[in-house]
Amino acid sequence: MKKGLFLVFLISVFIVKVIAQSPGNSATRNLKVSGELKKWHTVTLTFEGPEVSETDEYNSFLNYRLNVTFFHPKTGKVYTVPGYYAADGNAGMTSATSGNKWRAHFTPDEIGDWQYKVDFKKGKWAAIRSRTDERVPTGGYMDGITGKFAIAPTDKTGRDFRAHGRLQYVGERYLRFAETGKYFYKCGSDAPENFLSYYGFDGDFKTDGHKDDMVKTWGPHLKDWKPGDTQWSGGRGKEIIGAVNYLASKGLNAFSFLTNNIEGDDQNVFPYINYNTWDRFDCSKLDQWAMVFDHAQMLGLFLHFKTFEAENQGLLDFGGNGGNTRLYYRELIARFGHHLALNWNLCEEVGDWSRNFDGLKSMPSYPTERRSVAQYIFDTDPYHHHMVIHNGDWFDSMYGDQSKLTGASLQTNKSDFRRVNSLTKRVIDESKATGKVWAVACDEPGDASHALITDSEDPEHFNARTNGLWGAMLAGGWGTEWYFGYKHPESDLTCQDYRSRDLFWNMGKICIDFFAKNELPVTEMTSQNELISSFFPSQIGDFCFAKKQDTYVILLKKGGESYLDLGEPPGEYLDLKETVATYSVKWYDPRNGGALQDGTIKSIEGDGLKSLGKALIIRTRTGWF
C-alpha cells in the first residue's frame, strides 16, 4: 500500500467624527474615532479630557486611569483596553509635552457592530489601583460615554499582519494567526539590543551623560528609506525606518529591542521624560517609537519587546511588582498592545545567576516576583499576547500553572551553537511534562563573545546555519533571533548596519520558507535524533525531526550517508503482510533554497533500518559541499 507519506532530507535550509452618547455635559461628548474601520486594523479613540502636562505636580500618568470596554453583541466578546495620556494628540510630530488628549487603541477581531463604554477615573494612584468601584472617583469628562461603530472585513494582503490576524499562543509549540489559521515561523535580528537608542527620537537621553557615545544614527540604512515612508518633524526617522525596511527586504519577519536599559550596557533607551524619573512618560518619544512599530507591522515584522535586562531587572521596585513596575507595563500595553504580532519578554538573563553582582545597582528578580509581574501583564493586556522570559535562572519555577508565561526566549553559550538543538528540546519537553507546552524560540544562539559574526569574517556561517538556525527549528522551536558578539564589528551594542550579516539573512529566509511552504505536521513532530545513524550523542551530530511512520525531516550537515530507523509498522498494519508503507524522498538546499529535489533514491518502502544513500551533491555559489 502506498500511504502517500513524505520524507524530506536537508543537506547542509477615516478618520470619522462620532457624537457619543453620555449623560454628562455635551461639551464632553465629542471624540474622534480614527483608523480604517476594518477587521484587524487599529481603531483609535481620542478624547478631550483634562488639560495637563507631563510634569504637572499632580501626576498625569499615575493619578488618572482611562479604560475603554469594547463589546461585540453577536459573539459576546468583551475587551477592556487600557488608555493613556497623549499630550496634544500629535506629540510625535509637535514634540508637545502638554495638552488635553487622551487615547485608546483597539484592534477588532470580528466584523459588524462593536459597542464601547468609557471608564475614566481620577484619584491618587488611580492608574495602578485594581478597584473598579466607587472607591476610585470618577474623572468626569468622558467617563461614562458610550457609542458604537461598524467593522468591515480586512482588505490587506501579503506580509501585512492585518491580512493574517492576531498572532496567538494556542497551547502548542507554534504561534498561530487568528485569521488564516497558519503557524508563524520566525527568523530575525536580536541585535542590537539598543535598537531604540536613536538620535532622531525626542528626549534628553542623547545629552544626559549616560553613555551618550552609544546613541545611534542608523546612517547606513538611510538609503533604504523610501519616499512616502514614515518620518517625523525635521525629516527625522528616515534612518531607523530604513533599517526596518532592510530587514523586511531580506525576507526576515522579526526583530527585538529593549524598552528600558537605564542600568544596562547602553543606558539610552527608556520611555520616561528623563533618566531618573520613572513615573512620567515622554509622550512624543513614545509616539515616535509607535511610528516605527506601526511601519514594521505593515511590513510583516514581529515585535519582540524586551522589557528589562539583567542589569536593571530590579531597578523600578527592587525586583518586585510595585507601583513603578505596574505603571511601566500599563503604558507599554496601552500604547503598543494593539499590535497583532508581538511578545512581551519580562527580562533578559533574569535572576540571581551571576557569581558577582558588584557592578549592578539593582537587585535580581526572584520567581515569586516574576510570577506576579506575569499575572499583572496577563490581567492588563486584553489580547493575552505571547509572554516569555529569558534564561539566567532556568525556567523550572515558571512552567505550567506556576505562571502566565507561554514560552521561553532561550539563550545559549557556545560559539559553535552546539547546545541550541538540545536546549530547545529540553525546554519543550520539560514544559510539556507540566501540562502546558511552551512555544520556544532560541533568541540568542551562540555565545556573548562571538555568536553571529559578520559575513566578512565568516561568509559560510556553517555552524550558525546548521547547529543554530536549523538546530532550533528541528528541535521543535518556532524560530530564532540572532545576537551579534561583542568582540566583533557591528556588535550587539555598536551595530548600525544590518548588511553586515546580509549573507546569513538569506539563509534564514530559506529556512523559514521551508517550513512555511511545505505544510509539515509540525505540531505532531518532535526531535528524534536517535533515529538516524549519523547522530552521535557525544558529538554535534545530524538532526532528525519526525512524526514516526509519517514524516521525517533530517539535516545531514556535511552530506555523506546515513541510515534511518523507520521502526515497526503501526499496529493496524502488523497483520497485513501485503501492506507496505512507501515514503517519497526529497532533498532541499538550505543555502540556496528552491523547490524540493529528487535524489538518487526517490522512495523507500517498508520498515526497519533503511539506507538513505549518498547525500545529494549540490553546486553552490561558493563551491561544492
Q: How confident is the model at residue 11, as a pLDDT? A: 43
Helix (H, G, I), strand (E, B) or coil at 611: strand
Q: How confident is the model at residue 356, as a pLDDT? A: 74
Largest CA distance in the chain: 85
Q: Are strands 98-106 and 84-85 parallel, antiparallel or unpaired?
A: antiparallel
549: left (phi over 0), alpha (psi -120 to 50) or beta: left
Q: How confident is the model at residue 25, as a pLDDT? A: 43
Tell me the three cell numbers of residue 421: 538543538
Side chain identity at 126, as an amino acid letter? A
Is the Cβ–Cβ distance between 385 and 321 less than 8 Å? Answer: no
Q: How confident is the model at residue 12, as a pLDDT? A: 40
Distance of alpha carbon 60 from alpha carbon 122, whole angstroms: 9
Q: How far is CA 471 from CA 254, 302, 441, in A?
A: 18, 21, 11
Residue 417: CB atoms within 10 A of its CB come to 29
Is the Cβ–Cβ distance between 333 and 79 less than 8 Å? Answer: no
Q: How confident is the model at residue 607, as a pLDDT? A: 87
Q: Where are the beta strands (DSSP E) in 124-234?
A: 146-151, 167-168, 176-177, 186-189
Q: How confident is the model at residue 353, as a pLDDT? A: 86
Q: How confident is the model at residue 372, as a pLDDT? A: 97
Q: How confident is the model at residue 251, as a pLDDT? A: 98
Span 76-114, pLDDT tens digits: 999 999 999 999 999 999 999 999 999 999 999 999 999
Distance of alpha carbon 246 from alpha carbon 559, whole angstroms: 33
* pTM for the whole structure: 0.94
Report the residue count for the chain. Answer: 625
Q: How far is CA 276 from CA 87, 205, 263, 312, in A?
A: 21, 11, 11, 13
What domains sit in the chain, N to C, each tagged with a CATH number? 5-12+526-624 (no CATH), 35-151 (2.60.40.10), 161-190+248-275+299-519 (3.20.20.80)
Q: Which residues, given as ranges, of the chain have pLDDT below 50? A: 1-28, 616-625
Rounding to the nearest 10 degrees, give the CA dihedral for residues 377, 379, 381, 384: 90
Helix (H, G, I), strand (E, B) or coil at 238: helix
Long-range contacts of 205-208 (CB under 8 A, 24+ apart): 205/268, 205/269, 205/270, 205/275, 206/268, 208/274, 208/275
Q: How confident is the model at residue 536, as a pLDDT? A: 75
Concatenate the DSSP letters of all residues of 168-198 into one string.
E--SSSS-EETTT--B--EEEE---TTTT-B
The per-type count for the chain, helices as H runs and strands as E runs, is: 9, 31
Q: How confident is the model at residue 573, as a pLDDT? A: 52
Distance of alpha carbon 312 from alpha carbon 107, whole angstroms: 32
Q: How confident is the model at residue 617, as a pLDDT? A: 36
